[in-house]
């Protein structure tokens, strides 16, 4: 199937935006193959074989010279790295350069999860991230990627932006990676070329303004609102930011850039003075088209607002008492900093320091996942979950067994593997010291507990 041509109206706009000569360079870049890049998980170190060229605006991102078979790399399934477009990794640079305070963050349109994993790593144990996605199928993909990343500081929700209205002033940071016309993805996504039109740009602009109007109210005093798109035009970028600043009191924030990176800083006048945007053109940077802007809410605005319980939903997720939670921490060999929640006999754990905020979120949102799912207890035996295996939480109460690459791939295919050397009972399987999941060794067989819906179907190529 041939790739659709670049839309004529889009090409005409490029000429007015960049000038004819540079517009031609961008057009040529959009006809080339996209760059492949990955970002390593700093909390899951291993002997990395991918990535030799460093992406300059992130400490953990690397370019690949060619696309390997990620499906046949057990480290990918273990959450040791995330396949992510390089331009969007600028988020990491912004967080560190502005030294944004850690606390309660929201990624409002989070799927598939690349930016959420950046936020999760930045927060560590000092914060909690709500990663939200309104579309059910995309919310499931988001949940899986959060589980693989494994830090246990994320709550995954599936809600429309307006469902967050009771949480006005609740978040220290809100990221809006807005639905857009997708101009920056033209070389990766042929469908984006087919769907693009001036009318579609206008429709996206209205949607973006509506989402930002809702998101802006959620930011606490002193907190940050981050806005991004994967498109070039000013209507979906600078004009949307300008419209927001006409209605809400925010101060534009500026981040330092190295000129050698090739990122264009856009300075534009608004009612609040000069604002800043950062635009990535594929003919200037090794990455896809992207736009990014940062705003800060004045300290004079209030902090977390919580509606009374009668205005909130009853959550099916029930908190476990502090005493029982402490007993669980000791039994599982954890650090005593966790609190526990029960959903359909399955236990979930998250940092105790955010228990009040978690319970508010559980009463307000449709929560799909919380912290780390640990599993169930039947009598005196733990039935550990796959989510616990992939998390960075200790699992020292269970024996582990290191696998070769082919053994690891057979496990990920959910095949029966003999493992004669494994002890009886639950065993954690690892590859390059990265946890992959559980098996249970019985007298005459080994049960593979890798999730059926996650199993890989690709076979290794024959020599």
**Order of strands across the sheet that contains 434-441:** 400-402, 425-431, 434-441, 446-448
Do 161 and 130 contact (CB within 8 A), yes or no? no
Phi-psi region of 36 (alpha: psi -120 to 50; beta: other; left: phi over 0): beta
Q: How many residues does the structure list for the chain?
A: 463
pLDDT band at 153 (very low <50, low <70, confident <90, very high): very high
| Mean pLDDT taken over the chain | 93
**What is residue 371's predicted lDDT score, i.e. its pLDDT?**
97
Contacts of 458 (CB under 8 A, 6+ apart): 69, 71, 72
Is pLDDT above 60 for 310? no
Do 238 and 266 contact (CB within 8 A), yes or no? yes
Kindly name the residue from 204, 230, 254, 339 that is annotated as catalytic: 230
Of the candidates 263, 295, 299, which has an alpha carbon nearest to the alpha carbon of residue 276?
A: 295
pLDDT band at 119 (very low <50, low <70, confident <90, very high): very high
Domains (range + CATH), the chain = 398-463 (3.10.450.720)
**Each residue of 12-54: pLDDT tens digit?**
988 888 999 999 999 999 989 899 999 999 999 988 777 679 9
Do 236 and 211 contact (CB within 8 A), yes or no? no
Distance CA 306, CA 167 (A): 6
pLDDT band at 114 (very low <50, low <70, confident <90, very high): very high
> Between 20-30 and 8-18, two packed helices, what is the crossing angle to 10 degrees?
130
Determine the longest span between alpha carbons in the chain, in angstroms. Answer: 74
**Each residue of 184-218: pLDDT tens digit?**
999 888 889 999 999 999 999 999 999 999 999 99
Distance CA 52, CA 38 (A): 11
Do 231 and 256 contact (CB within 8 A), yes or no? no
Do 289 and 180 contact (CB within 8 A), yes or no? no
What DSSP letter does each residue of 289-342 carry, written as one string?
A: -EEEEEEE--TTS-------GGGSPPPS-EEPPHHHHHHHHHHTT--S-EEEEE
Of the candidates 457, 405, 406, which has an alpha carbon nearest to the alpha carbon of residue 434?
A: 405
Residue 230: active-site member: yes
Do 341 and 320 contact (CB within 8 A), yes or no? yes
Is pLDDT above 60 for 308? no
């Amino acid at each position: 199937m041939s790739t659709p041509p670049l839309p004529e109206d889009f090409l005409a706009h490029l000429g007015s935006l960049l000038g004819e000569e540079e517009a031609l360079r961008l057009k040529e870049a959009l006809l080339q193959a996209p760059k492949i890049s990955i970002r390593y998980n700093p909390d899951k170190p291993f002997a990395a074989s991918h990535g030799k060229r460093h992406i300059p605006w992130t400490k953990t991102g690397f370019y690949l010279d060619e696309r390997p078979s990620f499906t046949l790399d057990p480290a990918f399934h273990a959450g040791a790295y995330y396949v992510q477009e390089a331009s969007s990794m600028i988020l990491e640079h912004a967080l560190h350069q502005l030294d944004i305070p850690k606390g309660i963050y929201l990624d409002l349109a989070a799927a598939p999860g690349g930016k959420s994993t950046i936020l999760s790593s930045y927060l560590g144990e000092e914060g909690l991230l709500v990663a939200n996605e309104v579309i059910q199928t995309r919310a499931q993909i988001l949940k899986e990627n959060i589980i693989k990343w494994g830090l246990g500081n994320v709550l995954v929700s599936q809600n429309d932006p307006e469902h967050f209205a009771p949480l006005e002033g609740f978040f220290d940071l809100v990221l809006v990676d807005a639905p857009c016309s997708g101009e920056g993805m033209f070389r990766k996504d042929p469908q984006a070329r087919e769907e693009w039109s001036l009318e579609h740009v206008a429709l996206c602009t209205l949607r973006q303004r509506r989402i930002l109007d809702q998101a802006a109210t959620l930011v606490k005093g002193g907190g940050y609102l981050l806005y991004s798109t994967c498109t070039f035009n000013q209507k979906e970028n600078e004009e949307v930011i300008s419209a927001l600043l006409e209605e809400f009191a925010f101060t534009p924030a500026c981040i330092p850039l190295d000129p050698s990176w090739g990122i264009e800083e856009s300075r534009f006048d608004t009612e609040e003075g000069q604002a800043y945007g950062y635009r990535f053109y594929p003919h200037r940077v090794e990455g896809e088209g992207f736009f990014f802007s940062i705003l800060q809410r004045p300290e004079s605005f209030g902090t977390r607002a919580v509606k009374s319980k009668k205005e909130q939903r009853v959550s099916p997720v029930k908190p476990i008492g502090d005493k029982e939670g402490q007993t669980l921490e000791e039994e599982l060999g954890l650090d005593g900093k966790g609190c526990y929640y029960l959903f359909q006999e399955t236990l979930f754990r998250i940092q105790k320091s955010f228990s009040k905020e978690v319970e508010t979120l559980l009463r307000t949102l449709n929560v799909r996942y919380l912290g780390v799912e640990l599993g169930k207890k039947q009598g005196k035996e733990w039935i550990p979950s796959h989510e616990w295996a992939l998390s960075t939480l200790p699992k020292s109460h269970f024996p582990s067994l290191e696998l070769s690459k082919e053994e690891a791939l057979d496990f990920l295919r959910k095949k029966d593997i003999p493992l004669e050397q494994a002890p009886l009972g639950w065993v954690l399987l690892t590859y390059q010291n990265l946890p992959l999941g559980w098996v249970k060794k019985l007298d005459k067989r080994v049960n593979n507990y890798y999730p059926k819906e996650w199993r890989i179907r690709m076979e290794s190529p024959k020599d």
